[in-house]
């Protein structure tokens, strides 16, 4: 079975923009980045 290694990024939220909406936006962005890394790794193999 093949495995996929990912280094996950960090979600950075400044105090000035500390809102649920901003945190959610950062999380969605990180999720997209992780998904793209997974797809690229699958395509390599």
pLDDT digits (tens, 9 = 90+) for 19-44: 788 778 878 888 898 899 889 988 88
CA distances from 5 to 2, 14, 27, 38 (A): 10, 29, 20, 9
Instruction: Confirm whether 9 is domain-assigned.
Output: no
Determine the pLDDT at residue 41: 86
Question: What pTM was computed for the model?
Answer: 0.57
Domain that residue 25 falls in: 15-44
Determine the pLDDT at residue 27: 83
Look at the chain and report how many structural domains it folds into. Answer: 1
Determine the pLDDT at residue 25: 84
Which has more confidence, 26 or 13? Answer: 26
Instruction: Confirm whether 40 is domain-assigned.
Output: yes
Determine the pLDDT at residue 6: 54
Instruction: Extract the tokens encoding 42.
Output: 């699958």
Cβ distance 41 to 4 under 8 Å? Answer: yes
Instruction: Confirm whether 38 is domain-assigned.
Output: yes
Those residues with Cβ within 8 angstroms of residue 18's Cβ, 6 or more apart along the chain or in another chain: none
Instruction: Confirm whether 23 is domain-assigned.
Output: yes
Mean pLDDT confidence for 5-27: 69
Instruction: Confirm whether 6 is domain-assigned.
Output: no
Instruction: Confirm whether 4 is domain-assigned.
Output: no
DSSP annotation of 15: G
């Amino acid at each position: 079975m093949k495995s996929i290694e990912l280094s996950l990024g960090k979600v950075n939220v400044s105090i000035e923009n500390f809102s649920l909406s901003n945190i959610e936006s950062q999380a969605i962005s990180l999720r997209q980045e992780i998904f793209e890394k997974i797809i690229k790794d699958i395509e390599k193999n």
